Structure 1
């Protein structure tokens, strides 16, 4: 086995210590954010990255294990403490992560297929979006950031040939949210969030309330983000019967407002279908899961998938649901 000589051992050890310290410190911060949920602006943003602790802790543990062998006895106890902390942190975050990969969920053919897609200020490729609706046999599609021009392009691409019923409204910039459905829509009402959001009754074979969501960005308007969640956590629990929420929430399942909403009644479709790591933003790199389909009984997720659509900055999220 090749051994490091003296000229390289020092720099390698220093690099390992630097990476281990950074990974452990960052992971501890993520754990504290997940537990304490501070509301300061930067903390809210950082909470979106909590899932990365499940990688950071093991990296720290492995590197600290390497360093411990060559650490002087007076400092070895500190390194050992770091290893123990990394092991416990790994266990804690595995407990948060594994339900996205393991567990029971419905199987078989879907009773309902729901899609959400942010069209990036009306610049998304409408033909590509409608082709995705056709390929995935989507029955309810929620589009965010639909400008009047983008709505016309969706219609020209044939979206109403597939989904003839329309709800919501187009708008300037990020304000427009439009729903296209295979089933009749009624009792539509705007929900006063920062961007266009609506509550609509969907006359599917098993009727449900659809909440089409486009929440504020905490990066741009942290106060509006909190206010939007105050509204959602007031409006949604008051809806009777089955409820499905779909859209760009600008929130992950690690944020406290989302966890408050989910509670015992609602389930995140990607998590409960054991879809695993399924980021929706940004489109190419895929760092965060901020777009969601959320269901209440009797709807439960069979599977979810994400897809790339030209011209967008989000990935489309398609959820296949079954009545359980």
Structure 2
């Protein structure tokens, strides 16, 4: 009788202790995505580590669903409800990118824009030219354009398809350029922060301003300020010429600074067509991290977005991005 009583008491004592440990573990799992969602919602873009991490928000959003389901399955109701709130916050931030906006009205002047990071000029020139021939862009925005890469493109016949060019081919990762079917004019010098040159050009025929976007990569602490400066220096949407920003932003729509830029009157072509979660970096085999969306085509809200696509280019860690747009006015 005594033995049975002692055994039953020990068993009863062990069960609450085990339940407490499970509850504690569940809260430990819920807390990081909750903190992540709070920081992302607050628009905190401070510290280069967070700038890097926030790009992976869609993956944390997916993990938060699993955590909430686990909490509910184990009947940890408070943690489960907290987990569902976190899931809701992430859903509101991430899911709209997977759904296309209402179709743009027909008409307008078609405009095709292609952008590619050439990875220190080492991207496969033939692959780039194949995209130019197949997609027939009116504008090609290139980042990390080196003098050698520019020479290879010239030899491959880039000027036959896109005869006009403005840019600053530069050794290393700092150069950029814009090629176009229509004449270009440089109204101001390239935006230059931390030696990264973001080419700017005007297409007078179309009343269009375009930037080849490439701010500093926030790989190190001292690059964070340069990254922010490069993005904040980009032309805002609004009155004046139509504006397009295309290239390697080194940022996703989960960075507050990108949402601020969109709020001036831009639309992200991938987001508008329901492809906003399409990863563009790194291409398979380049970096041991999941893919994120660093390359974009931003078009101001007066410009219709018809389609978007991301295309593999050997020799670079970024996928090229392509958008079919339409400017207001009569089709050419």
TM-score (norm 1): 0.84
Written as runs of structure 1 = structure 2, the 5 A alignment for 1:174-193 is: 174-188=173-187, 189-193=189-193
Paired position in structure 1 for 2:216: 216
What is the RMSD computed on CA atoms of the aligned residues? 2.5
Rounded to whole Å, the distance in 1 between the matches of 2:61 and 2:314 is: 31
Cα gap change, 1:59/1:186 in structure 2, threshold over 3 Å: closer, same or farther?
A: same
- Report the alpha carbon displacement of residue 94 of structure 1 after superposing the two structures with TM: 1.5
CA offsets 1:240-260 (integer angstroms, 9 cap, x no match): 221001111111111111111
Asked whether 1:54 is paired with 2:56, we answer no
Written as runs of structure 1 = structure 2, the 5 A alignment for 1:75-154 is: 79-102=76-99, 103-106=101-104, 111-154=110-153
- Report the alpha carbon displacement of residue 108 of structure 1 after superposing the two structures with TM: 6.2
CA offsets 1:50-78 (integer angstroms, 9 cap, x no match): 2223201211122223333xxxxxxxxxx
CA offsets 1:17-68 (integer angstroms, 9 cap, x no match): 9996675344223202212314122122221112223201211122223333
Written as runs of structure 1 = structure 2, the 5 A alignment for 1:3-18 is: none
Give SS of 1:311's match.
coil
Q: 1:44·1:218 contact (CA, 8 Å) conserved in 2? A: yes
Q: 1:209·1:239 contact (CA, 8 Å) conserved in 2? A: no
CA offsets 1:164-219 (integer angstroms, 9 cap, x no match): 11111200101110111111101343112331112210145x32101111101112
Paired position in structure 2 for 1:39: 46
- Report the alpha carbon displacement of residue 275 of structure 1 after superposing the two structures with TM: 1.8
Give SS of 2:244's match.
strand
Paired position in structure 2 for 1:8: none
Paired position in structure 2 for 1:251: 251
Asked whether 1:306 is paired with 2:304, we answer no
Asked whether 1:321 is paired with 2:325, we answer yes
Paired position in structure 1 for 2:36: 30
Q: 1:308·1:315 contact (CA, 8 Å) conserved in 2? A: yes
Rounded to whole Å, the distance in 2 between the matches of 1:297 and 1:237 is: 8
Rounded to whole Å, the distance in 2 between the matches of 1:17 and 1:279 is: 36
Rounded to whole Å, the distance in 2 between the matches of 1:108 and 1:31 is: 38
Paired position in structure 1 for 2:241: 241
Paired position in structure 2 for 1:277: 277
Asked whether 1:265 is paired with 2:265, we answer yes
Paired position in structure 2 for 1:196: 197
Rounded to whole Å, the distance in 1 between the matches of 2:184 and 2:326 is: 20
Q: 1:30·1:46 contact (CA, 8 Å) conserved in 2? A: no
Give SS of 1:192's match.
strand
Paired position in structure 1 for 2:6: none
Rounded to whole Å, the distance in 2 between the matches of 1:318 and 1:230 is: 23
CA offsets 1:257-293 (integer angstroms, 9 cap, x no match): 1111111411111111222421110012761111111
Rounded to whole Å, the distance in 2 between the matches of 1:222 and 1:57 is: 28
